[in-house]
Amino acid sequence: MTGRTSTRIATVLILFSALTLAFTTVLLAQAQNSAAINADKSPQLLPGLDKDLIDTSADPCVDFFQYACGNFSKLYPIPNDRSGYGTGAMVAEYTETILHTMLDSAAAAGAKRSPNEQKIGDYYASCTASDVIDRDGLKPLQPELSRIAALASKDELTELLAHYQLINVTAFFNFGEQQDFKDSRKQIAIVDQGGLGLPERDFYFRTGEVAEKTRAQYVQHITNMLKLMGEPEAIAAADAKKIMALETALAKVSMDITSQRDPKNIYHLMPVSQLAALAPAIAWDRFLKATGIPPVSELNVTNPDFFKGMNALLVATDLDTIKTYLRWQLIHSTDSLVLPKPFADEAFDFYRRKLGGQPEERARWKRCVQATDGALGEALGEVYVTQQFPPSSKQATVQMVHDIEAAMDQDLDTLDWMSAATKVKAKEKLHAIADKIGYPNHWRDYSKLSIMRGDAFGNSQRAVEFENRRQLAKIGQPVDRGEWGISPATVDAYYNPSMNDINFPAGILQSPFFDPKATDAENYGHVGGIVGHELTHGFDDEGRQFGANGNLSDWWTPEDAKKFEEKADCEVKEYGSFVAVDDVKVNGKLTLGENTADNGGLRLAYIAFLADAKRKSIDLTAKQDGYTPLQQFFLGHGQTWCGSTRPEQLRLQVQTDPHSPRQFRVNGVVQNMTEFGQAFGCKTGQPMMPANACRVW
């Protein structure tokens, strides 16, 4: 997503899809042979079912992930510029080459370019001009550093923090807008915990050798960045320790990532005067005015205890330490692509190499393609859709979405644990879900955003501020239900509980996820499972708390709610037993929503495929290319997640990501479906066909 004000609360407001592993791509009308991909050729796309990936020496009833994907890592080892590599990453690489060509063309087109072509072309050209960025050094950042240096008292913090929120420097806390959880027609202001440099609060408190090493490396990283900013080594080292102490104090009053998954924990609508009483160290009336938002009398304070604790910290901390922390937050929050190479290298070394295990930085042009899509996603997306997304793909996806929604309607009738009263409400919500396919009906207007060739830093900052102001301007305005949260070229999908909509951009609607040459079974296993995943998000442990109109409301009978929680607890325990890396297990509570969506989503796709097969008189017992249609369906699902991940990245993922590691997104699902065991002739008691399985939906 573009814009911090949306991104920073994405885990709460937008329950993102199964595909959040940096997938970004473009539609290709024909599937490509996987054997065409090697280090010497441009990236290609996999077909809907790739037999080359299958490890026939493995037993699908013992380890289906190994069976479906066992040869992937032999054919496609993790490149040095990635912390993991899989099906989606291959699609992302293919996309990058397409977008690269588009951006090169826009950068070279000259005076005949459209306004949007000028913007995307000049943004990209400026980003790739590393010699200009290195030559300018920290000069573009100097006005912001001077603002900090000029602070004469803590009272002056208010306006500075307001300004920094607009340019994504979220020192001490975060500020933005959201749909009101309890009245989805309203856009309201929101203040949230923030101000940390490590991935999430528990990094400051975990015990053990690995956690202690990470904290020591983080302090050294801060030291190195301060040295690059001109501080002598001894002063930089001392300042880094002060910053770490301040951030640790902020972390202590922060809510952990798992607790934030419950919308009730992060919704506290209160008058501005009540926030002012909680945290008087910030002059909130002045702060809100300085952000430029329309006048407001109330806002959502996600974690009141945090702001109370933050206030005590502001009072107790001397101004010099605060200014040091602000300098660090400024450099830390600035996109490293627009900073001189030594800064970018240092940021990569800690966040990518040490935390993620990635040996080498990605090529600059690839990172600049991503940056341009992030800053001008719909300007680039409009060009992309015109060239790469045929109407036939949209039509096929719309039909599949409708089929899977019909499957959920049918499945609700079969649930023996849900009462008739709750089923009525569930169907009401299901029938109200809006389907957004491919791209928005109305493209975003970037006319007020100035992009100047040769000004990479300024372009980045102006794009960030443009998006943040665009988001904040929504406060008090009617909700635009046609708006999208991700760009058309993104290989991802999401469900938004406040909007009650599912969103499938053009980027994900291509091979292998949607392969026009694949069988119906394979496509239902791939993209059908993804559609079902997003649909099920509306009824997972978070989504089920929102009604048909997108409001946070309890539409369940107490008995049904209790039964849901009992069934969900089965998945919590099941996934919590999976070992991801070394001695680190999957967090069953953190991943519950995604695991529920994975399991329910594939079951819905299965039901929809059976209906499709019946309509088309497909013989489910006849083998094609060695597999029955039902086996093809499950192989399609399995090959959605083919790939491998470096151990450092696995550890980071388990600690911060609500999605389970890829092998458990395959095995964890099929072992809960007796239909899988029947399709592959498994016996009860084998790992993929346990005697007792979990099922929520």
The DSSP code sequence of 460-521 is HHHHHHHHHHHHHTTTTSPP-TT--SS-TTBS--EEETTTTEEEEEGGGSSTTTS-TTS-HH
Residue 134 DSSP SS3 = helix
- Structure confidence at residue 41 (pLDDT): 59
At 202-250, the pLDDT tens digits run 999 999 999 999 999 999 999 999 999 999 999 999 999 999 999 999 9
- Structure confidence at residue 588 (pLDDT): 97
Q: Where are the domains of the chain?
A: 4-41+58-97+375-679, 139-338
Catalytic pick from 192, 247, 346, 534? 534
- Structure confidence at residue 383 (pLDDT): 93
At 183-201, the pLDDT tens digits run 999 999 999 999 999 999 9
Annotate 350-375 with three-state secondary structure.
HHHHHCCCCCCCCCHHHHHHHHHHHH
Q: Tell me if residue 247 is catalytic.
A: no
Catalytic pick from 598, 612, 648, 657? 598
- Structure confidence at residue 304 (pLDDT): 98
Q: Tell me if residue 598 is catalytic.
A: yes
To 5 degrees, how large is the angle CA 455–CA 197–CA 211?
Answer: 140
* Among 370, 312, 376, residue whose Cα is nearest residue 99: 370
**Run means of pLDDT, 10 residues per run, the chain, 697 residues:** 32 31 28 34 88 98 98 97 94 91 94 94 98 97 97 97 97 97 97 98 97 98 98 98 98 97 97 98 98 96 98 98 98 97 98 97 97 97 92 89 96 96 98 96 97 98 98 96 95 95 93 94 96 97 97 97 97 98 95 98 97 96 96 98 97 97 98 98 97 95
The model's pTM is 0.93
Indicate if the alpha-carbon torsion angle 435, 439, 441, 443 is positive or negative: positive
Pairing of strands 183-193, 298-301: parallel
What residues contact 415, with CB distance under 8 A and at least 6 apart?
423
DSSP 645: E
Other CB atoms within 10 A of residue 562 CB:
12
Which superfamily, per CATH, for 4-41+58-97+375-679? Collagenase (Catalytic Domain) (3.40.390.10)
Q: Which CATH number fits domain 139-338: 3.40.50.300, 1.10.3720.10, 3.40.50.150, 1.10.1380.10?
A: 1.10.1380.10
CA-based Rg of the chain, rounded to a whole angstrom? 25
